């Protein structure tokens, strides 16, 4: 009954932590493609090929349902995967859906025409590849009208987080927020469009100010997954064991992951 969770590196551990708390009886297999991180500066073809390889590895672990706990993969690869690659007895879900549900206050299955929503000015902080894909704006436009989205590509933030350099990460966050606010001085809401960014949520909130509502993904994804599995329990896979897999150096990745989650984490070679 295992569910797979994939990320290009360690950022997806924020989602894993939330889904584990929300669904304590479900085993989760986490795969970090640390050997090829970060994805945010790669081409869409690279991201597609790497993501497909990772998903196949999780299928081999008995995970018929895989969560792409990576906004870059969700933005640059998921639509193509769903249209051309995923077999009918498997499911791969992204992390944009719960964010847009929360932002527009409507359920994903609500196929009524787009309508006006309360939030008019949204700041999107994401990797360069996610920003370039415009996937967030495209999905939002299906459900809401009159929303101005200003996207800021946050180069360097994922690298600093992966390297454990919190001081540099905080400085980069302040710089990126300042750059966005020069173009959109008064955002009403901010979307942290990368699963690494919740680790810097306090820095984003401090730079944005108290009047900006910050949408972070982990708990939204956890609630959405619980709802999905309640409706589609047949996609609980045959795997029975939780584990952590990495394409990188298991010792080094385990050390950084333990710092991330502040509890012992042991990765195995994928």
Would you please indicate which residues are annotated as catalytic (active-site) residues?
70, 194
34/38 Cα distance (integer angstroms): 8
Q: Up-side HSE of residue 268: CA atoms within 13 Å toward CB?
A: 7
Nearest Cα to Cα of residue 195 among 14, 4, 27: 14
How many other CB atoms are found less than 10 A from the CB of residue 230?
Answer: 8
Residue in the structure block whose two tokens are 């955002």: 187
Nearest Cα to Cα of residue 54 among 37, 42, 40: 37
Quote the tokens at residue 130: 């996610």
How many other CB atoms are found less than 10 A from the CB of residue 83?
Answer: 8
The sign of the torsion formed by the CA atoms of 261, 223, 160, 121 equals: negative
C-alpha angle 21/27/32, rounded to 5°?
90
| 8 A C-beta contact, residue 61 and residue 50 | no
């Amino acid at each position: 009954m295992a569910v797979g969770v994939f990320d290009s590196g360690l950022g997806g551990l924020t989602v894993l932590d939330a889904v584990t708390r929300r669904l304590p009886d479900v085993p989760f297999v986490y795969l970090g493609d640390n050997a090829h991180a970060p994805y945010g500066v790669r081409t869409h073809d690279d991201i597609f090929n790497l993501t497909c390889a990772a998903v196949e590895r999780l299928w081999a672990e008995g995970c018929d349902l895989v969560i792409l706990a990576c906004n870059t993969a969700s933005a640059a690869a998921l639509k193509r995967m769903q249209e051309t690659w995923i077999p009918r007895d498997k499911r791969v879900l992204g992390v944009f859906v719960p964010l847009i549900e929360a932002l527009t206050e409507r359920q994903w299955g609500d196929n009524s025409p787009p309508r006006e929503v309360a939030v008019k000015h949204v700041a999107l902080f994401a990797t360069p590849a996610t920003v370039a894909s415009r996937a967030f704006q495209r999905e939002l436009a299906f459900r809401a009208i009159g929303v101005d989205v200003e996207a800021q590509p946050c180069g360097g933030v994922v690298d600093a987080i992966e390297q454990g350099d919190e001081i540099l990460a905080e400085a980069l966050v302040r710089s990126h927020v300042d750059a966005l606010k020069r173009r959109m001085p008064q955002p009403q809401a901010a979307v942290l469009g990368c699963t690494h960014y919740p680790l810097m949520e306090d820095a984003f909130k401090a730079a944005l100010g108290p009047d900006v509502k910050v949408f972070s993904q982990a708990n939204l994804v956890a609630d959405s997954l619980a709802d999905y599995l309640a409706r589609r329990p047949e996609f609980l896979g045959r795997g029975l064991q939780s584990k952590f897999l990495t394409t990188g150096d298991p010792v080094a990745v385990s050390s950084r992951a333990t710092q991330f989650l502040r509890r012992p984490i042991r990765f195995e070679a994928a």
